Chains A and B, each alone.
Chain A
Amino acid sequence: MTGKIRVVVAKPGLDGHDRGAKVIARALRDAGMEVIYTGLHQTAEQIVETAIQEDADVVGLSVLSGAHMTLVPKVARLLREQGVEDVLVLAGGTIPEEDHEELKREGVLAVFTPGATTTDIVAFIKSSVAGAAA
């Protein structure tokens, strides 16, 4: 692995809760990663376009609106359709436990819920990106 890990932190849909996304974005930046924060109210198409343009290693999707079962799989699907297979997709927010399995089947590598620490997320991204590159 050479160079900085590139992470797109994105807020899909109409949800305005950006406290978590901003904290994560800053923590990843402080951990030496290159962070591209999309800002709010992004469509799945916009997020995928950003991920491709920015040559992202990781796309982190933050959803606290309850719409995660529509928005998150859509991003994962569009990435696959665009032939982008090597981007790791993570999800975070108020996502009930019972939805985690289905999100993982749709291509989400991990789901982080309230109480997750930035330390754990940083460590997870570092080891996953290293694993994917190996």
Chain B
Amino acid sequence: MDEDRQKPRDKDQWLPAATAAGTVRDADFTTVSSAEVEALYRPSDLAGHDYDRDLGDPGDYPYTRGIHPMMYRGRLWTMRQFAGFGEAEDTNQRFRFLLEQGQTGLSLALDLPTLMGYDSDDLRSEGEVGRCGVAMDSVLDMERVFEGIPLDRVTTSMTTNAPAAILLAFYLVAAERQGVGFDQVGGTIQNDILKEYIAQNTYIFPPEPSLRLITDIFAFCADHVPRWNTISISGYHIREAGATAVQELAFTLANGFAYVDAGLEVGLDVDVFAPRLSFFFNAHIDLFEEVAKYRAARRIWARHMRERYGAKDQRSWLMRFHTQTAGCSLTAQQPDNNIVRTAIEALASILGGTQSLHTNSLDEVLALPTERAVEIALRTQQVLAYETGVANVVDPLGGSYYVEALTDRMEEEAEEYFRKIDALGGVVAAIDKSFFQKEIAEASFRYQMQVERGDKVVVGVNKFATGGPPRVETLRIDPALEARQVERLRELRVGRDQAAADKALSDLLAACTGGENVMPVLLDCARAFCTLGEMVATMKTVFGVYRETPVF
């Protein structure tokens, strides 16, 4: 054997030697986020690493390797497919189908009028009722969605932000009407308004009153709904809007810290609300970058919560998160390829230690998914969980020179963003200055140009394209449902005790104007069959509405 090959070399010597030994393809070797990565990582890349300080065993601070000692040997991740469309009955049927297929948690998709605070009969709702999710005008719609599904037996995640407090009130009153106490229900509301201004754009009120609604929910649930995750601080939409992995990481955690600050400002004890904070990340196609992102996220959160905020309860240090595979990585062309992409992204989230997972369906780039497509997506998770062996070992990529080096670097880059955001005056001030919006628009445009130049390959789109329209069946929403939902709403208004509804809405107005917690009055509004649109309109008179400053 060649003498020289046995000698340890440092990286400066290795790279020229390796490059000289073989040709390098003319290709892009950056991550999907355009982050430079080296051809090889070696022990020298982890110089100064300290196992206990930087990683720790799973279940130990700083939780880089996972939040539970046994991770998936103890309990698999929750398979939670986001679903909801059409009328309440359609969604109820899809939920029952998913539960029968072995899904273990529910995730409710609401239509745009609901997310934006309009009733189905509002002029602004025309054409949008039941399209992106189910229409939810009153507690009766919530009740119909969960018909035959006992609310003490499932946990439900609801993707709602601006009107989150109202949807939570609907859910709790629906449980109450099933005979289930508030302390027996479990679930999550997204309730993350900051990322709405940054990326997803389903905002209603300005930041200040929106943050007040959020802290009202923190306080109410701490006392009455102990199993409820009061917020799901979301990077998903930030990433979908075009952000890089580091931007997703940094902006999401910055928002997380802003919510902690908001809780502290209204006098809540950090250990009272922080254990119920949860997170939601994207799983994009660059597997190792994604794994490093989740690991860095856990470590950053733990360090800041313990060291900066002085949280004492270990549960305040733990970052629990849901993951969804990247919708923006899917292609309309050759849609079957999306099954493969989704499987790899799901794998990334599992290797990264997610607590729950939604896998996208192959047709979601075209329309809401068909039942067949949803089944494949769920089966993908089941194959990963039960066949591949990836759930046997905790943090199997821990100790990889590459993954550890990338985890460190992403943490450093996120810290740099935190300093920038602080210098701008914090998250809300940075939103006002369009800082996030510009950063994301820039990254998104850069990626699009890379795809158009062919620097970034998208199989079936800019390479190996076959042409012709995609061959795939899509789900059609019945256009007549809008009229049916409007009619149901009319019946509700005619049939309810109007004086009780008026009284509840005037109490809501008083609570919004004064400083008292709005949750109890929102529950009374739900019980009095006030509609979502009526409640939001009442709140708007006090809180006002938010208008974006468009930047591109």
Chain A residues engaging chain B, CB cutoff 8 angstroms: 13-19, 21-23, 25-27, 29, 37-41, 43, 65-67, 69-71, 94, 96-97, 113-115, 117-119
Assembly CA distance A80 to B469 (angstroms): 31
Name the A residues within 8 Å of B115 (CB-CB).
14
Q: Using A13-B112, A97-B470, A115-B461 as known contacts, say yes or no to A69 and B201 having CB atoms under 8 A apart.
A: no
Name the A residues within 8 Å of B116 (CB-CB).
14, 41
Q: Using A66-B477, A114-B365, A115-B333 as known contacts, say yes or no to A14 and B113 having CB atoms under 8 A apart.
A: yes
Q: Using A19-B242, A66-B368, A96-B366 as known contacts, say yes or no to A13 and B128 having CB atoms under 8 A apart.
A: yes
B517 at the interface (CB under 8 A from A): no
Interface segment among B134-142, B185-193, B396-404, B441-449: the answer is B441-449
Name the B residues within 8 Å of A17 (CB-CB).
201
B132 at the interface (CB under 8 A from A): yes
B331 at the interface (CB under 8 A from A): yes
**CB < 8 Å: which of A23, A37, A67, A70 contacts B550?**
A37
Could you list some 27 contacts between A and B, CB below 8 A? Answer: A13-B128, A14-B115, A14-B128, A15-B112, A19-B240, A19-B444, A22-B441, A22-B444, A22-B445, A22-B550, A23-B242, A26-B445, A37-B550, A37-B552, A38-B550, A40-B550, A41-B116, A65-B128, A66-B131, A66-B367, A67-B128, A69-B127, A69-B479, A115-B332, A115-B333, A117-B451, A117-B452
User: CB distance A14 to B124 under 8 Å?
Assistant: yes
B200 at the interface (CB under 8 A from A): yes
B118 at the interface (CB under 8 A from A): yes
**CB < 8 Å: which of A39, A71, A117 contacts B127?**
A71
Name the B residues within 8 Å of A27 (CB-CB).
445, 448
Residues 474-488 of B contacting A (Cβ, < 8 Å): 474, 477, 479
Assembly CA distance A13 to B551 (angstroms): 19
Assembly CA distance A119 to B202 (angstroms): 30
User: CB distance A119 to B452 under 8 Å?
Assistant: yes
With A18-B241, A67-B128 given, can you name 14 additional A-B contacts, CB distance below 8 Å?
Answer: A14-B125, A19-B241, A19-B242, A22-B551, A23-B242, A26-B441, A40-B550, A41-B116, A66-B131, A66-B368, A66-B477, A67-B127, A94-B366, A117-B451
Residues 225-273 of B contacting A (Cβ, < 8 Å): 240-242
User: CB distance A39 to B548 under 8 Å?
Assistant: yes
The proximity string for B residues 430-459 relative to A, scoring 1 for CB distances below 8 Å and 0 otherwise, is: 000000000001001100100110000000
Q: How far is the CB of A61 from chain B (nearest CB, A)?
A: 13
Q: How far is the CB of B311 from chain A (nearest CB, A)?
A: 33
Q: Using A19-B241, A37-B550, A96-B474 as known contacts, say yes or no to A113 and B332 having CB atoms under 8 A apart.
A: yes
B416 at the interface (CB under 8 A from A): no
Assembly CA distance A66 to B332 (angstroms): 15
**CB < 8 Å: which of A14, A25, A37 contacts B112?**
A14
B126 at the interface (CB under 8 A from A): yes
Q: Using A40-B550, A113-B332 as known contacts, say yes or no to A23 and B112 having CB atoms under 8 A apart.
A: no
Q: How far is the CB of A113 from chain B (nearest CB, A)?
A: 6
Name the A residues within 8 Å of B367 (CB-CB).
66, 94, 96
Chain B residues engaging chain A, CB cutoff 8 angstroms: 112-113, 115-116, 118, 124-128, 131-132, 196, 200-202, 240-242, 328, 331-333, 365-368, 441, 444-445, 448, 451-452, 461, 469-470, 474, 477, 479, 548, 550-552
Nearest-neighbor residue (CB-CB) of A21 within chain B: B552
Q: How far is the CB of A11 from chain B (nearest CB, A)?
A: 9
Assembly CA distance A71 to B368 (angstroms): 18
Name the A residues within 8 Å of B127 (CB-CB).
13, 67, 69-71
**CB < 8 Å: which of A21, A23, A39 contacts B448?**
A23
Assembly CA distance A71 to B333 (angstroms): 25
User: CB distance A39 to B550 under 8 Å?
Assistant: yes
User: CB distance B331 to A26 under 8 Å?
Assistant: no
Assembly CA distance A67 to B78 (angstroms): 32
User: CB distance A16 to B201 under 8 Å?
Assistant: yes
Q: How far is the CB of A46 from chain B (nearest CB, A)?
A: 11
Name the A residues within 8 Å of B201 (CB-CB).
16-18, 40-41
Assembly CA distance A23 to B447 (angstroms): 10
Name the B residues within 8 Å of A94 (CB-CB).
365-367
Name the B residues within 8 Å of A29 (CB-CB).
552
Assembly CA distance A22 to B452 (angstroms): 16
- Sort A-B residue pairs by CB-CB distance and give the 3 closest, nearest first: A70-B127, A16-B201, A39-B550
Assembly CA distance A44 to B202 (angstroms): 19
Counting chain B CB atoms within 10 Å of each CB, the highest count among A18, A29, A37, A69 belongs to A18
Assembly CA distance A105 to B345 (angstroms): 40
Assembly CA distance A33 to B461 (angstroms): 26
Counting chain A CB atoms within 10 Å of each CB, the highest count among B116, B118, B131, B461 belongs to B131
Nearest-neighbor residue (CB-CB) of B458 within chain A: A115
Nearest-neighbor residue (CB-CB) of B549 within chain A: A39
Name the A residues within 8 Å of B196 (CB-CB).
16
User: CB distance A43 to B124 under 8 Å?
Assistant: yes
Assembly CA distance A23 to B209 (angstroms): 32
**CB < 8 Å: which of A21, A67, A117 contacts B131?**
A67
User: CB distance A23 to B366 under 8 Å?
Assistant: no
User: CB distance A26 to B552 under 8 Å?
Assistant: yes
